[in-house]
């Protein structure tokens, strides 16, 4: 049997990046992936912010399997029959080094894992890591698999097994179930011809649009998203699990409502369902992130809850890549010193603190709570839309009431006190500032 | 056009998803435990709509069209009702447009 320096469980972005770092350092590394191919089990919004790859794969944009480069980012605040958007566009994002790309995970994840293989990593697909193997002192020394019961042994295991990480649970690093810190994402990919998408969204070939939405999930805290792919549009919602379960409303009904919204329906006219899918998102952020290293094992990407989910603005793939890459380098150093205990692997965490991965998480640690709060979810979208309506409505011959009156009327109607508005505004500055 | 959107039946919806169905049921629901459950959270939240309440207050479950998302075990508050594992390697859902 081949012996390995490290076993990576999961060939998603985190696992592939860890394997790439280790392979490049000359280590013998194997990725174990339960899917038929890397990406087969993975679902996201999705836009990938690729700059994290600059140092890892120079000129990555020349080979990455993307759909469209995002040139328009919109945030839409809505009620069932109103919407107000902030819409930013720059065609500079359609040139290197680019900002974000829409991409399909079955292609992107397979590409990244393939890059690791090209540099010497081994990929074993259609294989589940079913449990941890430990030595007498409790250190992780390998994994059991469901491939003829085979066991894989190595000094270090990388848990890159995503949001439900059963490896982290088995090691006692994550609770068995934690609905309060997870949201459910449900998505429909709707097929539309490329030219129709170009015309409706005002872009040319290879240019894409990303729209995030707040106020479209009724009584359940969450948000919506819409992304343009080459010849399809991805539309979906993200829903807080406990409130979804208590709501009595089925997940797909939120997408159905969103698709009928007057600002969204015309964009989708004539589209047909290409694929329906769902996946969980770790939304707890910095406060609930588990310990990242134990003796013989590190946690990366969603297994460590590393999606930056400021409510509706989701960045997870870049964080998975950043953490996997950093983990791979830290493991290489630990292997060189011969100390793969938790303290030998501790530079993984300190390196992450230095990088965007934990710096952004620390900075935005209050964002999930704020964006999913009752006022931001239930009251502000209506308030903001009503203010916009007052501002843009011409009421002749009645004279204009003016800003203060409008604000008074809107806050009263939506049950918001001015001091709450001021406090939340301040909280927003602290959170995002 | 509204009716058409609302009209996507679950059969049509799941017909867009590719599965390699394994022989082993990777999720098992103990309907006896479910009888005492007052929330039936899984019935509401499972995105693939795989939990069907029975007349006796239990649950009828079919693993074949599962997304392997984990929602059901996260929202279920009755210990022992759901035994949750991944399908054997290579089986289960195959997303092509995730
Ligand atoms: C609805 C939704 C929208 C999102 N939108 C965005 C977005 O627009 N942009 C963005 O950057 N991020 C987005 N994210 C977050 C992003 O998808 C994740 O953060 C990212 O996929 C995490 O990568 P990962 O490698 O850690 O985990 P994953 O991508 O989940 O990969 C884990 C891998 O491990 C495998 N695996 C699991 N257990 C085992 C086992 N026991 N044995 C073998 N293999 C195993 C799985 O098959 C999988 O391939 C979104 C997520 C969701 C759900
Ligand atoms: S599976 Fe859990 S949530 Fe569903 S009915 Fe049974 S006990 Fe209730
Ligand atoms: S894992 Fe997800 S799709 Fe499968 S039964 Fe549970 S909730 Fe439904």
- With cut-offs at 50, 70 and 90, classify the pLDDT of residue A170: very high
Helix (H) or strand (E) holding A290, with range, is: none
For residue A317 and ligand 1, the question of a CB distance below 6 A is answered with yes
Which ipTM was obtained for this model? 0.95
CATH number of B18-94: 3.30.70
Q: What confidence tens digit (pLDDT) does each residue in B64-86 have?
A: 999 999 999 999 988 899 999 99
Q: What is the pLDDT of residue A432?
A: 81
pLDDT of A284 over the 60 cut: yes
Q: What is the pLDDT of residue A267?
A: 98
Cβ separation A249–B16 shorter than 8 A: no
For residue B59 and ligand 3, the question of a CB distance below 6 A is answered with no
Cβ separation A256–B5 shorter than 8 A: yes
Question: 3-state DSSP call for residue A233?
Answer: strand
Cα(B14) to ligand 3 centroid in Å equals 13
Q: What confidence tens digit (pLDDT) does each residue in A29-86 have?
A: 999 999 999 999 999 999 999 999 999 999 999 999 999 999 999 999 999 999 999 9
Number of Cβ pairs < 8 A linking chain A and chain B: 134
Cα(B42) to ligand 3 centroid in Å equals 8
| Distance of alpha carbon B85 from the chain centroid | 13
Contacts of A127 (CB under 8 A, 6+ apart): A32, A33, A34, A145, A146, A147, B89, B90
- With cut-offs at 50, 70 and 90, classify the pLDDT of residue B45: very high
Q: What is the pLDDT of residue B68?
A: 98
Among A40, A104, A148, A180, most B C-beta atoms within 10 A, so best to mutate, is A40
Among B45, B67, B78, B83, most A C-beta atoms within 10 A, so best to mutate, is B45
* Residues 157-216, chain A, touching B (beta carbon < 8 A): 163-164, 166, 177-179, 182, 184, 186, 189
* Average pLDDT value over all residues in chain A: 95
Q: Does A219 touch chain B (CB under 8 A)?
A: no
Question: What integer is the mean pLDDT of A363-375?
Answer: 88
- With cut-offs at 50, 70 and 90, classify the pLDDT of residue B4: very low
Q: Does A150 touch chain B (CB under 8 A)?
A: no
For residue A279 and ligand 1, the question of a CB distance below 6 A is answered with yes
Cβ separation A280–B74 shorter than 8 A: yes
φ/ψ (deg, to 5) at A408:
-60, -50
CATH class of A2-41+104-175+287-364: alpha beta
**In whole angstroms, what is the distance from residue B67 CA to residue B95 CA?**
9
Global confidence as pTM: 0.97
Closest in B49, B70, B88 to A128, CB measured: B88
Q: Whose CA is nearest to atom 4 of ligand 3?
A: B66
Helix (H) or strand (E) holding A123, with range, is: strand A122-124
Closest in B39, B49, B69 to A245, CB measured: B39
pLDDT of A2 over the 70 cut: no
Q: Does A94 touch chain B (CB under 8 A)?
A: no
Answer whether the bond into residue A46 is a cis peptide, omega within 30°. Answer: yes
Closest in A104, A234, A273 to B8, CB measured: A273
Cβ separation B13–A259 shorter than 8 A: no
Q: Residue A380 half-sphere exposure, CB side, CA atoms within 13 Å? A: 20
> Domain-by-domain residue ranges, chain B?
18-94
Q: What is the pLDDT of residue B2?
A: 37
- With cut-offs at 50, 70 and 90, classify the pLDDT of residue A1: low
Q: What is the pLDDT of residue B7?
A: 62
Q: Which chain A residues are within 8 Å of B87, Cβ to Cβ?
A: 34, 128
Q: What is the pLDDT of residue A312?
A: 75
Which DSSP state fits A400? P
**In whole angstroms, what is the distance from residue A402 CA to residue A385 CA?**
16
Q: Which chain A residues are within 8 Å of B12, Cβ to Cβ?
A: 273
């Amino acid at each position: 049997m081949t012996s390995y320096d490290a076993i990576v469980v999961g060939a998603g972005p985190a696992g592939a990046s860890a394997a790439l770092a280790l392979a490049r350092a000359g280590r013998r590394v194997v990725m174990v992936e339960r899917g038929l191919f890397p990406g087969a089990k993975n679902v996201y919004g999705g836009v990938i912010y690729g700059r994290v790859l600059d140092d890892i794969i120079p000129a990555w944009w020349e080979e990455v399997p993307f759909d469209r480069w995002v040139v328009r980012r919109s945030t839409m605040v809505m009620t069932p029959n109103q919407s107000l958007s902030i819409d930013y566009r720059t065609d500079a994002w359609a040139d290197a080094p680019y900002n974000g790309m829409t991409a399909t995970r079955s292609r992107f994840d397979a590409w990244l894992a393939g890059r690791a293989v090209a540099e010497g990593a081994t990929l074993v697909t259609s294989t589940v890591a079913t449990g941890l193997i430990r030595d007498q002192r409790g250190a992780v020394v390998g994994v059991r698999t469901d491939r003829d019961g085979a066991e894989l042994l190595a000094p270090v295991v990388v848990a890159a097994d995503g949001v439900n990480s059963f490896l982290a649970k088995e090691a006692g690093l994550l609770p068995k179930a934690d609905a309060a810190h997870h949201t459910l994402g449900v998505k429909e990919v709707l097929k539309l011809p490329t030219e129709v998408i170009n015309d409706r969204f005002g872009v040319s070939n290879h240019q894409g649009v990303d729209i995030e939405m707040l106020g479209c999930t009724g009584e359940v805290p969450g948000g919506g998203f819409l992304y343009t792919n080459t010849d399809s549009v991805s539309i979906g919602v993200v829903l807080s699990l406990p409130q979804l379960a208590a709501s009595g409303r089925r997940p797909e009904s939120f997408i159905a409502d969103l698709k009928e919204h007057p600002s969204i329906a015309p964009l989708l006219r004539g589209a047909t369902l290409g694929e329906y899918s769902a996946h969980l998102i770790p939304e707890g952020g910095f406060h609930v992130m588990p310990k990242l290293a134990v003796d013989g094992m590190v946690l990366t990407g969603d297994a460590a809850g590393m999606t930056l989910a400021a409510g509706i603005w989701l960045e997870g793939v870049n964080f998975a890549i950043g953490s996997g890459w950093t983990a791979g380098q830290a493991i290489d150093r630990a292997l060189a010193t011969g100390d793969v205990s938790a303290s030998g692997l501790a530079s993984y965490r300190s390196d992450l603190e230095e990088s965007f991965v934990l710096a952004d998480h620390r900075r935005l640690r209050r964002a999930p709570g704020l964006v999913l709060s009752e006022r931001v979810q239930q009251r502000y979208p209506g308030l903001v839309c009503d203010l916009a309506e007052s501002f843009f409505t011409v009421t002749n011959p009645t004279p204009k009431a003016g800003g203060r009156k409008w604000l008074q009327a809107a806050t009263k109607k939506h049950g918001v006190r001015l001091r709450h508005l001021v406090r939340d505004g301040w909280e927003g500055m602290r959170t995002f500032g | 056009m509204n009716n058409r959107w609302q009209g996507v039946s679950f059969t049509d919806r799941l017909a867009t998803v590719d599965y390699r169905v394994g022989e082993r049921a990777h999720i098992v629901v103990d309907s006896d435990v479910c009888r005492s459950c007052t929330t039936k959270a899984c019935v509401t939240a499972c995105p693939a709509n795989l939990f069907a309440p029975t007349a006796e207050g239990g649950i009828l479950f079919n693993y074949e069209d599962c997304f392997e998302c984990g929602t059901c075990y996260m929202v279920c508050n009755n210990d022992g009702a759901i035994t949750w594992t991944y399908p054997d390697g290579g089986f289960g859902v195959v997303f092509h447009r995730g």
